[in-house]
Amino acid sequence: MAVDVLLGLQWGDEGKGKIVDVLSPDYDLIARFQGGPNAGHTLEFEGKKFVLNTIPSGIFFENTMNLIGNGVVIDPVALKKELESLKGAGHDLLAKKNLMIAKKAHLILPTHRLLDAASEKRMGDSKIGSTLKGIGPAYMDKTGRNGLRLGDFTLPDFKERYHKLVNKHKYILQLLYSEIIDFREQEKEFFQALDLISQFPLVDSEHVVNDYLKKGKKILAEGAQGTLLDIDFGSYPFVTSSNTTTAGACTGLGIAPNQIGEVIGVFKAYCTRVGGGPFPTELDNETGEELRFKGHEFGAITGRSRRTGWIDLPALKYAIMINGVNQLVMTKADVLRGFEQIYACTHYHYNGEVIDYMPYDIHAIQPVPVLQEIDGWQEDITGITAADQIPANLNTYIKFLEKELGVPVKYLSVGPDRKQTLILN
């Protein structure tokens, strides 16, 4: 038995949550391995819609266990809200006993959120466009070896260590950003939320996943953000602060690399990005607006408008290479309906050359996309249920992508609902 990994191949919001939900009945354990409440994973079924932030997308199936891994950063306040909202909708995860949390997961403190906001404010126009959830500062404390882990909450010196870290944050806020903020209310919420969260089984994720493997059980590691937001291989510095790639599943759960099985890469039939940073195929025009409108491209957590553009094959090839993707999932194919022509970027014009890879300094020198025209399709595909109902032009688009990318498209998503998913290969 191996651990399969599902992750996004673009700049996030590819539809990862929906696809994890669709695949969940086939797995015994769904494990989130990185990121935090910066993620917004949308699931729709039986006329209901859920947006999950820190909680894995396998919680809606009876026989599937869920794990928040050590590589995740947890904001107890945000997680409590998420749990309460699920409970309100009839999904009490404490009662269902289907969620475990890694002791080694680091905590996002109220002051991490303040630091995130102060840093973004100070950067002005060159800001990252962070979700302001405190992700960057929390991971900085983790790698700076100052962080607090969820398991620390049960230790006698937790409050002391908390105040030591908060005093450092207050010092930075005052010195660098001249900010003095009263956060006593948030602090109270933080401790109340920790009381709730520590009622879940707090585990060593490395032992849990390896025990599952030994017992022959099936595990799916759920990625957040997207490959192009990876801290090492994304469009740095316009990235998030964790490894969103397959390697992140190893460090974020405690899995040896030779235990990785299938790597399922999810991509949209076009491309979107939220926040700042390079986006070579961006359509800052009426067509981009049409894509945004038809695809409801507004952030699942921040409500921000997503930037939109055509599919970017050099970027996708790069993401496939870094992750070892061997199965593709194409989502939002229905959104491209109605265009006479659609376009795929096959190469970039860059520094007087034509290249088919993502250049190092993509953040500084915007490559100009070389676009291939493809005939669009006019048929409504939101109700199709089998591969032989796919319109000819969409089939041609899929075959073209498979040839360019060298990986089969195994699933096709034709709408947000769980049922609007086709198996192709």
* Distance in angstroms (rounded) separating the CA atoms of residues 355 and 99: 46
* Distance in angstroms (rounded) separating the CA atoms of residues 383 and 292: 21
- Least Å distance between CB 253 and ligand GDP? 19
Side-by-side strand order, sheet with 99-102: 202-203, 99-102, 65-68, 29-32, 219-222, 3-8, 260-268, 327-331, 409-413, 421-423
331 binds, among Mg ion, ligand IMO, ligand GDP, none (CB under 5 to 8 A by kind): ligand GDP
- Least Å distance between CB 387 and ligand IMO? 27
- Least Å distance between CB 121 and ligand IMO? 14
- Least Å distance between CB 239 and ligand IMO? 6
Q: Which residue has the tokens 């935090």?
A: 36
- Name the segment binding ligand IMO (CB under 6 A); options: 81-89, 223-231, 311-319, 362-370: 223-231
Q: Are 352 and 290 in contact (CB under 8 A)?
A: no
Using the rule CB under 6 A, which residue among 34, 38, 281, 413 binds ligand IMO? 38
Supply the DSSP symbol for 389.
G
Window 107-146: residues binding ligand IMO (CB under 6 A)? 128-131, 133, 135-136
- Please list the alpha-helical segments (H only) found in 73-177: 76-88, 93-96, 110-123, 135-143, 158-177
- Name the segment binding Mg ion (CB under 5 A); options: 11-19, 89-97, 133-141, 377-385: 11-19
User: Contact residues for ligand GDP (CB under 6 A)?
Assistant: 8, 12-18, 39-42, 44, 296, 300, 331-332, 334-335, 413-416
8 token code pair = 């996004």
> Would you say 174 or 382 has its CB closer to ligand GDP?
382
* Distance in angstroms (rounded) separating the CA atoms of residues 96 and 91: 8
Residue window 272-291: x/- pattern of binding to ligand IMO, with contact defined by CB under 6 A = --xx----------------
Residue 208 makes contact with Mg ion by CB under 5 A: no
Q: Are 376 and 289 in contact (CB under 8 A)?
A: no
413 binds, among ligand GDP, ligand IMO, Mg ion, none (CB under 5 to 8 A by kind): ligand GDP
Q: Are 327 and 408 in contact (CB under 8 A)?
A: yes
Is 273 labeled as ligand-binding? no
Residue 13 makes contact with Mg ion by CB under 5 A: yes
Tell me the residue nearest to ligand IMO as measured from the CB. 275
User: Quick one: the chain helix, strand, coil %, rounded to 5?
Assistant: 35, 25, 40
- Least Å distance between CB 334 and ligand IMO? 19
Please identify every residue annotated as catalytic. 13, 41, 142
128 binds, among ligand IMO, ligand GDP, Mg ion, none (CB under 5 to 8 A by kind): ligand IMO
Q: What is the dihedral of CA 180, 181, 182, 183, to 10 degrees?
A: -130
Bridge-partner residues for 50, per DSSP?
43
Neighbours of 363 (CB within 10 A): 16
205 binds, among Mg ion, ligand IMO, ligand GDP, none (CB under 5 to 8 A by kind): none
Is 244 labeled as ligand-binding? no
- Least Å distance between CB 216 and ligand GDP? 29
- Please list the alpha-helical segments (H only) found in 1-127: 16-23, 76-88, 93-96, 110-123
Residue window 25-54: x/- pattern of binding to Mg ion, with contact defined by CB under 5 A = ---------------x--------------
278 token code pair = 């390079």
CA atoms within 13 A on the CB side of 236: 10
- Name the segment binding Mg ion (CB under 5 A); options: 9-17, 85-93, 137-145, 275-283: 9-17
Query: What amino acid occupies position 92?
Result: D
User: Binding residues for ligand IMO, per CB under 6 A?
Assistant: 8, 12-13, 38-41, 128-131, 133, 135-136, 224-226, 229, 238, 240-241, 274-275, 300
User: Binding residues for Mg ion, per CB under 5 A?
Assistant: 13, 40, 300
